[in-house]
């Protein structure tokens, strides 16, 4: 007997009737319902599924095959994943390096709070726009060319940043870098998913998230190293991002395009060669034929096509998947991760860490925590599952954000009072504040004080120098010598004995966030869409991620000003609770399922998807007296998911 895989839509007569009779006679635990509607939707999905390969054996009955594939996985697949994930490294390096660079930039460039927020948020704003356009670019130019373009743009942006002489040029460089990051952020997961064998797809896509956190850690080390330079240290911090971009660019010159995209463009011979190169010694004829057949079906049914995003929104399962994917990306940002990464050094200063260098190295410790616990996520993703890992991550994230808020609250309640009131000839608002905490919330004021061991005395709230926040506008803190007995100047923070609570909260936050919410939004989005919708679905979800990244990073300092710092983190903790409820209700478990199985999980109403177990698709094998159908799959609504027929040789 030679197994022959056929799409369901092509065997809708004899095989479907025989299979229905078989099910009625042998599956007592299932009551068959009329299948015309369900199989009709399957046929429509198969017709629409222009990027997907035809349905293969269910994972539950392919153990031997998967073990063989795992044993023969060529090294070239890992090489492709490495050079692709450099895009994630660039993403992480940028979000990490700006934290330390901003401490130096605001002194040398005399940046106001508005300009600091602009330089941070302009990158993510540009990334949001380019990520949204990435779906079109991927279909037009291909995955490989898009990654090359992203690397080239990032190189140009890094060079502009390293030679910038003004705030405006810095802003141009940050926008340029953002355009490259946005394209890479949605292209890399799609490329890795398309070139990876099914049994490695989830883990290799998660490695992209590992590279993001690795980039953030390396950036924090670079920040610490160059913070000792007396001048222009930020140029090296921002300019070194060119190196991984150049490595990715030249690496992808020699790496292949996605074979699926090549087949869509009619370059069949090249696609066959690329597939053979990726799969090594494995027989690729079967995989090649199924990919080609699915694309031919798409072309034959082109009359039912249209704008992909409209098709996604009009088809229930993909619409629900898009809501889940975009919701995960939204709550990733609303939980405050990039606030912590962008402003980690500043947050530590707010908590009472005085020295810039000390704050930068402590921020490096938080980045290291993020990287290590992302490794934990890579290890747990196939053991615990996506849903449980995300739920546990959100629970820990909410608790650690609460701890951060409590740390700032304790600092505020024990804030040193203003005990010295110098004559203010300018009648500034600073003279009305009675404590350091209130003084700190005003961006035009700073706290000048003397210290004896842990005791603060002779403290005053005075205007900050408009030219540099390192000094007061006038008075004893306007010309400090740094000698013993000279006053201390605190801008944007207060002296406190509770800085350890904030540092502990930061570390626990990253330890909770990194394994689940740091990785799962990207991994889940690479799995939950049928392949005809994958590029567009990932572009939309990545765009949502960047849009909320902009909103959070652009508003953090102003939210802290109006709600206080502990109020801002209490707000993030409340948003995490909403995210926890969203995941609990809407995110199904996809562990152990092939991509073709996952669409079944979104056939129900959205709010019921979360309770759906991963084994809700039941695979069946033929009985000994049933020869036409080799095996099939039936979900809990009795819809045929797969049919494989066998023909006698000779």
Longest dimension (CA), the chain: 105
Give the C-alpha separation, 124 to 181, whole Å: 8
Residue 381's φ and ψ, nearest 5 degrees, are: -60, -40
Local confidence band at 175 (pLDDT 50, 70, 90 cut-offs): very high
Residue 145's φ and ψ, nearest 5 degrees, are: -65, -40
**Mean pLDDT within 628-644:** 40
Local confidence band at 14 (pLDDT 50, 70, 90 cut-offs): very low
Give the C-alpha separation, 84 to 604, whole Å: 35
The residue ranking higher by pLDDT, 505 or 4, is: 505
Look at residue 326 in the predicted model and tell me its pLDDT.
95
Look at residue 639 in the predicted model and tell me its pLDDT.
41
Beta strands across the sheet bearing 455-463 = 455-463, 445-452, 488-490
- In contact, 509 and 407? CB cutoff 8 Å: no
Give the C-alpha separation, 588 to 386, whole Å: 8
Give the C-alpha separation, 437 to 417, whole Å: 9
Residue 361 has pLDDT above 50, yes or no: yes
Of residues 209, 224, 210, 211, the one with CA closest to residue 97: 224
At how many degrees (to 10) do helices 285-300 and 36-48 cross?
A: 100
**Mean pLDDT within 415-422:** 89
Residue 623, classified by CB atoms within 10 Å of its CB into exposed (0-12), middle (13-18) or buried (19+), is: exposed
Q: CA geometry: angle at 98 spanning 329 and 393, to 5°?
A: 35
Structure tokens at 164: 């910038």
Query: CB 197: neighbour CB atoms within 10 A?
Result: 18
Look at residue 481 in the predicted model and tell me its pLDDT.
61
Backbone Cα Rg of the chain: 28
- In contact, 488 and 352? CB cutoff 8 Å: no
The alpha carbon dihedral of 338, 344, 345, 346 has a sign of positive
Local confidence band at 346 (pLDDT 50, 70, 90 cut-offs): low
DSSP 587: -
Look at residue 354 in the predicted model and tell me its pLDDT.
64
Give the C-alpha separation, 291 to 598, whole Å: 19
Helix/strand/coil for 415: coil
Look at residue 531 in the predicted model and tell me its pLDDT.
67
DSSP 472: B
**Mean pLDDT within 531-546:** 84
Give the C-alpha separation, 118 to 328, whole Å: 26
H runs (alpha helix) in 227-314: 233-239, 242-253, 259-264, 268-279, 285-300, 308-314
Residue 30 has pLDDT above 80, yes or no: no
Local confidence band at 156 (pLDDT 50, 70, 90 cut-offs): very high
Structure tokens at 13: 């007569």
* DSSP string for 383-448: TT-HHHHHHHHHHHHHHHHHHHHHHHHHHHHTPPB-------TT--GGGG--BHHHHHTSTTEEEE
Local confidence band at 482 (pLDDT 50, 70, 90 cut-offs): low
Query: CB 289: neighbour CB atoms within 10 A?
Result: 13
Give the C-alpha separation, 333 to 208, whole Å: 18
Give the C-alpha separation, 125 to 464, whole Å: 30
Structure tokens at 487: 């006053």
DSSP 315: S
The residue ranking higher by pLDDT, 449 or 36, is: 449
The residue ranking higher by pLDDT, 288 or 613, is: 288
Residue 630 has pLDDT above 90, yes or no: no
Give the C-alpha separation, 54 to 601, whole Å: 19
Local confidence band at 104 (pLDDT 50, 70, 90 cut-offs): confident
Residue 60's φ and ψ, nearest 5 degrees, are: -70, -20
**Mean pLDDT within 150-160:** 92
Give the C-alpha separation, 23 to 639, whole Å: 11
- In contact, 439 and 477? CB cutoff 8 Å: no
Residue pointed to by tokens 């940046």: 111
For residue 644, the cross-strand partners are: 5, 631
Look at residue 609 in the predicted model and tell me its pLDDT.
55
Look at residue 21 in the predicted model and tell me its pLDDT.
43
Give the C-alpha separation, 303 to 472, whole Å: 70
The alpha carbon dihedral of 217, 340, 500, 519 has a sign of negative
The winner for highest mean pLDDT among 12-16, 188-192, 423-427, 527-531 is: 188-192
Residue 535 has pLDDT above 90, yes or no: no
Look at residue 298 in the predicted model and tell me its pLDDT.
52
Look at residue 621 in the predicted model and tell me its pLDDT.
35
Residue 370 has pLDDT above 50, yes or no: yes
Q: What is the pLDDT of residues 259-275, one digit of tens each?
A: 878 887 888 888 888 88
Residue 542 has pLDDT above 90, yes or no: no
Q: What is the pLDDT of residues 559-595, one digit of tens each?
A: 887 888 889 899 999 999 999 999 999 998 877 776 5
Query: CB 633: neighbour CB atoms within 10 A?
Result: 22
Look at residue 600 in the predicted model and tell me its pLDDT.
78
Helix/strand/coil for 640: strand
- In contact, 594 and 60? CB cutoff 8 Å: no
Question: Percent of the chain having pLDDT more than 90?
Answer: 18
The residue ranking higher by pLDDT, 429 or 355, is: 429
The winner for highest mean pLDDT among 320-324, 411-415, 496-500 is: 320-324
Query: How high is the mean pLDDT of the chain?
Result: 76
Beta strands across the sheet bearing 640-647 = 2-5, 640-647, 629-635, 617-621
> For residue 480, what is the enclosing H or E element?
none
Q: What is the pLDDT of residues 194-227, one digit of tens each?
A: 787 766 767 788 888 889 888 988 988 888 888 7
Give the C-alpha separation, 103 to 94, whole Å: 15
> For residue 450, what is the enclosing H or E element?
strand 445-452
């Amino acid at each position: 007997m030679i197994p022959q895989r056929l799409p369901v839509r092509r065997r809708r007569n004899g095989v479907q009737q025989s299979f229905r009779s078989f099910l009625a006679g042998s599956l007592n635990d299932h009551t068959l319902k009329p299948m015309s509607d369900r199989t009709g939707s399957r046929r429509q999905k198969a017709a629409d599924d222009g990027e997907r390969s035809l349905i293969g054996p269910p994972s539950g009955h392919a153990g031997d095959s998967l073990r063989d594939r795992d044993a023969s996985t060529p090294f070239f697949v890992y090489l492709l994943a490495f050079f692709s994930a450099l895009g994630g490294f660039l993403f992480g390096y940028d979000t990490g390096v700006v934290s330390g660079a901003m401490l130096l930039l605001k002194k040398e460039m005399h940046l106001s709070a508005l300009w600091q927020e602009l330089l941070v948020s302009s990158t993510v704003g540009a990334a949001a726009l380019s990520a949204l356009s990435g779906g079109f670019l991927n279909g037009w130019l291909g995955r490989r060319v898009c990654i090359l373009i992203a690397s080239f743009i990032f190189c140009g942006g890094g060079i502009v940043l390293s030679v910038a002489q003004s705030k405006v040029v810095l802003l141009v460089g940050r926008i340029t870098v953002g355009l490259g990051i946005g394209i890479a952020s949605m292209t890399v997961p799609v490329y890795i998913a398309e070139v990876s064998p099914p049994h490695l797809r989830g883990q290799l896509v998660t490695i992209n998230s590992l590279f993001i956190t690795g980039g953030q850690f390396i950036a924090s080390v670079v920040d610490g190293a160059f913070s000792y330079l007396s001048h222009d240290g930020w140029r090296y911090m921002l300019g070194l991002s060119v190196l991984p971009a150049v490595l990715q660019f030249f690496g992808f010159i020699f790496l292949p395009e996605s074979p699926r995209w090549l087949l869509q463009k009619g370059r069949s011979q090249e696609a066959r060669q690329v597939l053979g190169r990726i799969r090594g010694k494995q027989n690729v004829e079967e995989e090649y034929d199924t990919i080609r057949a699915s694309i031919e079906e798409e072309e034959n049914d082109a009359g039912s096509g249209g704008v992909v995003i409209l098709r996604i929104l009009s088809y229930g399962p993909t619409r629900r998947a898009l809501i889940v994917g975009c919701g995960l990306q939204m709550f990733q940002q609303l939980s405050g991760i990039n606030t912590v990464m962008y402003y980690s050094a500043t947050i530590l200063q707010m908590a009472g860490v005085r020295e810039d260098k000390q704050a930068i190295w402590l921020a490096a410790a938080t980045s290291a925590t993020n990287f290590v616990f992302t490794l934990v996520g890579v290890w747990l993703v196939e053991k615990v599952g996506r849903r449980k890992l995300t739920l546990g991550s959100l629970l820990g994230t909410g608790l650690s954000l609460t701890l951060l808020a409590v740390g700032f609250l304790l600092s505020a309640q024990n804030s040193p009072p203003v005990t010295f009131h110098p004559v203010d000839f300018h009648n500034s608002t600073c003279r009305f504040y009675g404590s350091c905490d209130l003084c700190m919330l005003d961006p035009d004021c700073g706290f000048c004080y003397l210290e004896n061991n842990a005791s603060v005395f002779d403290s005053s709230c005075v205007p900050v120098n408009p030219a540099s926040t390192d000094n007061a506008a006038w008075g004893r803190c306007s010309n400090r010598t740094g000698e013993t007995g000279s006053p201390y100047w605190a801008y944007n923070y207060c002296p406190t004995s509770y800085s350890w609570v904030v540092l502990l909260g930061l570390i626990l936050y990253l330890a909770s966030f990194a394994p689940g919410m740091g990785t799962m939004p990207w991994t889940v989005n690479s799995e939950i869409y049928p392949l005809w919708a994958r590029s567009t679905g990932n572009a939309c979800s990545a765009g949502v991620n960047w849009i909320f990244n902009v909103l959070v990073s652009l508003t953090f300092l102003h939210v802290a000003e109006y709600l206080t710092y502990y109020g801002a983190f209490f707000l993030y903790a409340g948003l995490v609770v909403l995210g926890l409820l969203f995941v609990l209700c809407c995110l199904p478990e996809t562990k152990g399922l092939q991509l073709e199985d996952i669409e079944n999980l979104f056939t129900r109403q959205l709010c019921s998807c979360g309770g759906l177990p991963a084994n809700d698709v039941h695979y069946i094998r033929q009985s000994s007296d049933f020869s036409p159908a080799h095996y099939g799959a039936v979900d809990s609504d009795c819809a045929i998911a797969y049919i494989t027929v066998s023909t006698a040789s000779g």
